[in-house]
Amino acid sequence: ILNVEQSPQSLHVQEGDSTNFTCSFPSSNFYALHWYRWETAKSPEALFVMTLNGDEKKKGRISATLNTKEGYSYLYIKGSQPEDSATYLCAFSGSARQLTFGSGTQLTVLP
């Protein structure tokens, strides 16, 4: 069983604050790391997919980094807005090419 862990489990921040959370995954047999954003009552939507150690991806105020040697990825949100409130899921893809999801970080941005 692959162990993909996310921390913290939940997070409350004030509007305008910057925040970050972590995804830990097996450092062996790494193929790709996906980040998804899941708003309540909606479908999870893909944010990024990263494959190379040192990869950095950015979409607006959201960015992500990848360290495959130590098995972690960070997701950063700069200047959080209430519309950023969602659960952020990471998913590890290894040699089997299937996605193993973490349990998510639930972000609430307070106005």
Give residues in contact with other proteins (CB under 8 A).
31-32, 34, 36, 41-46, 49, 51, 89, 93-94, 97-104
Query: Among residues 62 and 80, whose Cβ is nearest to other proteins?
Result: 62
Question: Residue 33 is encoded by which pair of tokens?
Answer: 């790391």
* Least distance between other proteins and beta carbon 6 (Å): 9
Q: What is the 3-state secondary structure (H, E, C) of 42-74?
A: CCCEEEEEECCCCCEEEECCEEEEEECCCCEEE
* Least distance between other proteins and beta carbon 60 (Å): 18
Residue listed under structure tokens 């047999």 = 29
* Least distance between other proteins and beta carbon 15 (Å): 27
Question: Residue 98 is encoded by which pair of tokens?
Answer: 């299937």
